[in-house]
Chains A and B, each alone.
Chain A
Amino acid sequence: GENVEQHPSTLSVQEGDSAVIKCTYSDSASNYFPWYKQELGKRPQLIIDIRSNVGEKKDQRIAVTLNKTAKHFSLHITETQPEDSAVYFCAATTNTGNQFYFGTGTSLTVIP
């Protein structure tokens, strides 16, 4: 089955700096990669996703890049703000699969 690895497990940045979280996957058939943000005590919420026919996608301060050849994808947050502090999860799945495979999460702290 698919194996998704996520790094780093914790990340601290100064407010205004950029944050990058990286994930690798093992199944070359995976073609959909969502990112979720989970604030303390809350549900995971989708913040951005990317499909394998796209190399990069941006939504305001958030961007995701995908390298299919290397089987890795990354979340980029620019101009970080304290409200970006949360746990971020990456995931991968295939067109015909029944399951999402999640990374173990990155705890991001933005220091004011």
Chain B
Amino acid sequence: NAGVTQTPKFRVLKTGQSMTLLCAQDMNHEYMYWYRQDPGMGLRLIHYSVGEGTTAKGEVPDGYNVSRLKKQNFLLGLESAAPSQTSVYFCASSYPIGGQPQHFGDGTRLSIL
């Protein structure tokens, strides 16, 4: 039981490049989330999904897109990377909220030059 797996773990991009971060969970969770974590700012929600085929915007969605084609996978895309998107990205999943905790992946450290 791997829990929540994020790939890649590290990536360096040049400004303007695109990439996709993959999150996979094997706990049959309905809900999945993408956060970014910057120093001193805690966890900020980018996008989330409450089920296969559904997505919604969080607190800081600009510059990112997501897709949830399969229940176990949640993809985060950067179409044209900017230095302001340099951050650590965490994926999380949970059962439908109602007193159920989130389970986090190990994070992806992304640097945009």
Mark A residues whose CB is within 8 Å of B: 9, 31-32, 34, 36, 42-46, 49, 51, 89, 93-100, 102-105
- A43 engages B105 (CB within 8 Å): yes
Assuming the contacts A42-B106, A98-B31, A103-B42, asked whether A49 and B101 have C-beta atoms less than 8 A apart, the reply is yes
8 Å CB contact of B41 from A99, A100, A104: A104
A98 to B93, CA, bound (A): 11
- A32 engages B42 (CB within 8 Å): no
- B90 engages A93 (CB within 8 Å): no
Chain B at the A interface: SS class: loop
Q: State the Cβ distance, B45 to closest chain A Cβ, in Å.
A: 6
- Pair count A-B, CB < 8 A: 56
- B104 engages A99 (CB within 8 Å): no
| B97-112 contacts to A (CB < 8 Å) | 97-107
- A98 engages B106 (CB within 8 Å): no
Question: B23 on the interface (CB 8 Å rule)?
Answer: no
- A46 engages B43 (CB within 8 Å): no
A94 to B98, CA, bound (A): 7
A51 to B101, CA, bound (A): 11
Residues of chain B lying within 8 A (CB to CB) of residue A93:
97
- A94 engages B97 (CB within 8 Å): yes
Q: Show 25 A/B contacts (Cβ-Cβ < 8 Å), sorted by A.
A: A32-B97, A32-B98, A32-B100, A34-B102, A36-B104, A42-B106, A43-B90, A43-B104, A43-B106, A44-B104, A45-B104, A46-B103, A49-B101, A95-B97, A96-B98, A97-B97, A98-B31, A98-B50, A98-B97, A99-B33, A99-B48, A102-B42, A103-B42, A104-B40, A104-B41
